[in-house]
Structures are given as C-alpha cells and as structure tokens.
C-alpha cells in the first residue's frame, strides 16, 4: 500500500499541475455550503440541538467544537471573500458582543448542562479588532455556557497589524494556545496592490514572541495568484516564511470573482499573474516547503513533522471541518455570530449574513438561522466516502459497506469508472476492496473526491469554487 506520507519524494510536472488548474469544492463539508436551502429553519436547528441534549444520537454524543465569527476589520483587503464589516468605530464591537451573549444563552438553554468543548476557534473578519477586554468578556461568556476540555485547542486568527507582544501575552492568559497569522505575501508591491501592508520584521517579531509565550502552534496563511505576484517574488516570500519556521502553513489559491465580492473590483485584472505563472508559483512553493522539512498534509496545508496535524496524518487520524484539516475526531460544530456555519448531527446550518438580520433574530430570542440542510442517506454515505479520501487518502470498501449497508462497487460503479483516467496518470490505485490515493495523487485529492459528489456531477457550473491547485 502506498503511504500518502511519502509525498516529499514526489515530482510534480508543471503540465500535470496545469491540467488540474480548475475550480472545485474544498470539501470542508459534504454537501457543500452552496447546497444549503432556506427551507431549513431555526426550528429544525433547535430540534437538532435537542437531539444532542437528549443523547438521541447513535453511538452517543460526538465531541463539540465552537466557531465564533467576528466580522469587523479596520480596513479592506482587496482579495478578501470573507463576510466582513469595514469600520474604524470600535464601539460597534460592544453591540455585537451583546448579541453574541444572547445567542450563547440560547444554546445554553437548549443544550441544558454545559457541553464539553474540545476545540474553539475565533475567525473573521479580524477577531483581533476586539480589544483585549472585549476578548476577555467573550471568553468569559463562552466558559459560562460551555466546559472547555483540558487540552482543548483554542485558536484565534490574527491580523499582524493589530497585534503586539503584549497582546499575545494577554491572549495566552485568556487561554488561547494557537495562533494563525494572515500574511498572504511579503512583497511590498503585492501588499500595496491588495491594500494590506505589513513588514516581514513585524511578523517575525510576533512569531518569536508567540514561541517565547508557549503557544503550541503558529500558522501562517499565504495566497498565490495575487496582483503583481510573479514566480521570483513569490519564491522570496517562500524563503522568508522558511525563516519564520511556523508550525503550519496554509497556501491558498486566489479566486478572482469580482462579480461576487465587491472589494475585488479594486484589483486590476491586468496585474494578475498568468495561469502559467500561478502554476509555477505553486510548484515552487510546494518544492520549497517539502525541501524545508514540512509534511504535506493535504490540499493546501503543510506542517512541521512534530506538529499535531502531521502526527494525525501519520496515524490516520486526520479529520475535516469548516476550518479545514483538524486533529479533532468527527464532531458537532456550533457556529456563533453573523454568517457562521455549524454542523449538528446530520444537519448543517448557517446564521444570517447581515448584522441587522442577526441582531433582530437574537433579540427576539430566536436562533439566527437563515438556511441549512438535513442530510439524506445518500448524502451521509457520500460524505463518508469523500472524507475518507480527503483525510486518509484511502477508501476501504468494507467499512463503508458495513456502515451504510451498500456494496461499493455496485453503488458507485459509474464513479469508480470515471476514475480510470486518474489511474492511468498514477493518481489512484484500485485494489481488491479499496481505492488508494497515491503519493502523487494526494496533491490532487480534491479532483478525486469530486468524482463522488452527486450534486457537482449534476451541476457543471463550478466557477463559484476556488481552484483545485
């Protein structure tokens, strides 16, 4: 059996990378969020919470994760596709925290006794828009309603322009043990083009402070495909990231969709790198990180061998949720705040996307759910298949057949046949009773998983997704 951990020895021809330069889902869920419907209501969500509270779940209660969305940013980054509110009025945070308190109380009431939480993540927007006192208030509210497990992963996304060594120390006191720095690129011209200027030295000093303060993991986010980037300039950024030596690296492809995301209209399309340069940048980044000793986790994530994520991959314990790859076992996720997405049992849900809608719902004592999905038997089956491929790189037919009472070769005959070209390329291997992703195929695992996406096969309009590579 080919181990996906052998990816450091893989050579990726540029022509193969170019062949897979197409849009596709990231599979932080299946079905993907674009399949959510408004017919799923706050009442449906409350029922799912009640089932968890009553333990009406086969196999008992799964672990619980929390995601809290903080939408505010002081300035707009032109590439950004997140749900955000641009404002310099920091007093707006108080009203938002009031609303979060109401939503937290709604969950505490529905769930009864405090639920044990093994993972908590603050995202945005910019969570560090909040003052340290406001972050302390939020953490107090969360601890009042939920029980944070010993050793829980407690992480926060950090805009380096809003951070300092003193703030990092305060966040450590509040219980945060993981940081994710939004870097994107260190080239000065690229930073000007996307309206996000921050020096390498400032980020370097923050990473050093995080080490001294005992943070368990430091992540750096990068984006390739931004305006004014080129292979030479991005190679310099990769070298600088190598100097930082973060525990984890997330390398995302920029998706230019100005018709959907208004800030992107400020980007001059003529300044975007060509498709050939994008592929060259990706190829160089992968080679740079692997030669620097990083483990390729999957899709666009890398980690040092000693990081918990790399250990989870070696041990076959990788999982995926709406934040990406995770060491946490399959779990329920409560999304708090405007636009936040959650998963409860066999359902997905999303909160209102605008502050007025969100405020109105929670002030009326209602969950601010505006859409979601109750998964069908086929959805659950395909989710299991896709997540096995995305996380373990291997689909064992017997485990799927026992759990879902089907025969994989019969149920997925057309899907398995569609993978024949990938077999010829050496990306997958069909074994007796299994489908194995090869070390080379692990770099294109999204494309392999897409073969089992029933919704995607029925809808060929894929431009709403980011690119596979």
124 labelled ligand-binding: yes
Report strand pairing: 217-224 vs 248-253.
parallel
Residues 164, 180 within the same domain: yes
pLDDT at 15: 77
Give residue-wise pLDDT tens across range 221-252. 999 999 999 999 999 999 999 999 999 999 99
Q: Which domain holds residue 441?
A: 1-31+377-469
- Do 48 and 195 lie in one domain? The reply is yes
Please state, in angstroms and rounded to a whole number, the distance separating the CA atoms of residues 458 and 120. Answer: 35
Per-residue pLDDT tens digits for 270-318: 999 998 899 899 989 999 999 999 999 987 899 999 999 999 999 888 8
Q: Does residue 468 share a domain with residue 402?
A: yes
59 is an annotated ligand-binding site residue = no
Examine the fold and report which residue of 334, 365, 390 is the final residue of a domain before the chain moves on.
334
**Which CA distances in Å does 269 have to 228, 254, 256, 257, 466?**
10, 12, 9, 11, 17
C-alpha dist (Å) from residue 40 to 36, 55, 235:
8, 22, 46
Q: According to the annotation, is 67 in a ligand binding site?
A: yes
Q: Is 255 among the annotated ligand-binding positions?
A: yes
pLDDT of residue 3: 39
For residues 19 and 43, membership in a common domain is answered with no
Tell me, yes or no, whether 117 and 170 share the same domain. Answer: yes
User: pLDDT (tens digit, 0 to 9) for every residue of the chain, 469 residues total?
Assistant: 333 444 556 667 777 877 887 778 888 899 999 999 999 999 999 999 999 998 755 556 788 999 999 999 999 999 998 889 999 999 999 999 999 999 999 999 999 989 999 999 999 999 999 999 999 999 999 999 999 999 999 999 999 999 999 999 999 999 999 999 999 999 999 999 999 999 999 999 999 999 999 999 999 999 999 999 999 999 999 999 999 999 999 999 998 989 989 999 999 999 999 988 998 999 899 999 999 999 999 878 999 999 999 999 998 888 888 888 888 877 899 999 999 999 999 999 999 999 999 999 999 999 999 999 999 999 999 999 999 999 999 999 999 999 999 999 999 999 999 999 999 999 999 999 999 999 889 889 999 999 999 998 776 555 556 666 6
Q: What CA dihedral angle connects 174, 180, 185 and 186, to 10 degrees? A: 50
Please check whether residue 71 lies inside any domain of the structure. yes
Beta bridge partners of 119: 65, 153
- Residue 341, annotated ligand binder? yes
Judge if 45 and 135 occupy the same domain. Answer: yes
The total domain count for the chain is 2
Give the phi and the psi of residue 9 in degrees, each rounded to 5.
Answer: -95, 5
Last residue of a domain, one of 276, 305, 334: 334
pLDDT computed for residue 251 by the predictor: 94
Digit-coded pLDDT (tens) for 197-217: 999 999 999 999 999 999 999
CATH no. for residue 467? 1.10.10.920
Residue 196 annotated in ligand binding: yes
Task: Quote the pLDDT of residue 460.
Answer: 55
184 is in an annotated binding site: yes
Could you tell me if 45 and 173 lie in one domain?
yes
d(CA 277, CA 300): 18
Residue 92: CATH number of its domain: 3.80.30.20
**364 in a domain, yes or no?**
no
| Residue 80 maps to a domain | yes
52, 154, 248 from 117: Cα distances, Å: 14, 10, 23
- The reply to whether 340 falls in a domain is no
Evaluate if pTM is beyond 0.85. Answer: yes
Say whether both 170 and 185 belong to one domain: yes
Is there a binding annotation on residue 47? no
User: 334, 367, 397: which is the final residue of a domain?
Assistant: 334
Asked if residue 396 and residue 296 are part of one domain, the reply reads: no
Asked if residue 372 is part of any domain, the answer here is: no
Residues 417 and 314 in one domain: no
Give alpha helix (H) positions in 335-434. 355-363, 377-392, 397-404, 408-411, 413-418, 420-425
Q: Is residue 387 part of a domain?
A: yes
Place of tokens 């569609």: 418
Q: What confidence score (pLDDT) does residue 89 get?
A: 96
Residue 157 marked as a ligand binder: yes
Residues 165, 81 within the same domain? yes
The verdict on residue 368 lying in a domain is no
For residue 191, give every residue at least 6 positions away whose Cβ sits within 8 Å of its Cβ, in sequence order, or none.
Answer: 184, 185, 197, 198
Residue 177 counted as domain residue: yes
Same domain? 51 vs 4 = no
Would the annotation count 358 as a binding residue? no
Q: Is 284 annotated as belonging to a binding site?
A: no
Find the helix or strand (DSSP H, E) in which 261 lies: none
């Amino acid at each position: 059996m080919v181990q996906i951990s052998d990816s450091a020895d893989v050579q990726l021809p540029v022509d193969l990378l170019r062949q897979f330069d197409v849009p596709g889902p990231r599979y932080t869920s299946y079905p993907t969020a674009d399949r959510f419907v408004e017919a799923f209501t706050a009442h449906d969500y409350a029922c799912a919470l009640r089932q968890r509270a009553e333990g009406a779940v086969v196999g008992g209660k799964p672990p619980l994760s929390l995601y809290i969305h903080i939408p505010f940013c002081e300035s707009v980054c032109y590439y950004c596709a997140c749900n955000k509110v641009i404002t310099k009025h920091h007093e707006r945070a108080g009203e938002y925290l009031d609303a979060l308190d109401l939503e937290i109380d709604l969950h505490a009431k529905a769930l009864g006794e405090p639920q044990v939480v093994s993972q908590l993540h603050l995202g945005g927007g910019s969570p560090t828009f909040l003052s340290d006192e406001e972050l302390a208030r939020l953490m107090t509210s969360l601890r009042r309603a939920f029980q944070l497990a010993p050793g829980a992963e407690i992480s926060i996304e950090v805009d380096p322009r809003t951070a300092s060594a003193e703030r990092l120390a305060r966040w450590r006191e509040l219980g945060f043990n993981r940081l994710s720095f939004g870097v994107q690129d260190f080239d000065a011209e690229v930073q000007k083009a996307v309206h996000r200027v921050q020096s390498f030295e400032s980020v370097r000093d923050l990473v050093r402070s995080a080490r001294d303060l005992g943070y368990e993991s430091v992540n750096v986010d990068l984006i390739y495909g931004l305006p004014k980037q080129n292979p030479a300039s991005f190679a310099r950024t990769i070298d600088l990231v190598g100097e930082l030596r973060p525990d984890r690296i997330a390398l995302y492809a920029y998706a230019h969709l100005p018709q959907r995301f208004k800030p992107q209209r400020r980007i001059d399309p003529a300044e975007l790198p060509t498709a050939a340069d994008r592929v060259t940048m990706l190829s160089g980044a992968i080679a740079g990180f692997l030669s620097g000793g990083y483990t390729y986790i999957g899709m666009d994530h890398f980690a040092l061998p000693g990081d918990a994520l790399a250990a989870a991959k070696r041990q076959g314990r990788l999982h995926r949720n709406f934040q990406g790859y995770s060491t946490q076992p399959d779990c329920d996720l409560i999304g708090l705040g405007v636009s936040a997405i959650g998963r409860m049992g066999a359902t997905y849900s999303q909160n209102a996307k605008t502050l007025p809608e969100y405020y109105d719902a929670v002030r009326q004592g209602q969950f601010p759910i505006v859409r979601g999905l109750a998964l069908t038997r086929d959805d659950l089956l395909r989710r299991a298949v896709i997540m096995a491929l995305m996380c373990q790189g291997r689909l064992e037919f017997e485990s799927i057949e026992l759990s879902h009472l089907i025969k994989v070769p019969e149920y997925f005959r057309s899907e398995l046949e569609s993978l024949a070209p990938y077999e010829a390329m050496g990306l997958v291997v069909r074994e007796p009773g299994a489908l194995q992703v090869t070390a080379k195929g692990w770099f294109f695992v999204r494309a392999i998983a897409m073969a089992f996406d029933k919704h995607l096969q029925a809808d060929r309009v894929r431009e709403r997704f980011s690119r596979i590579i």
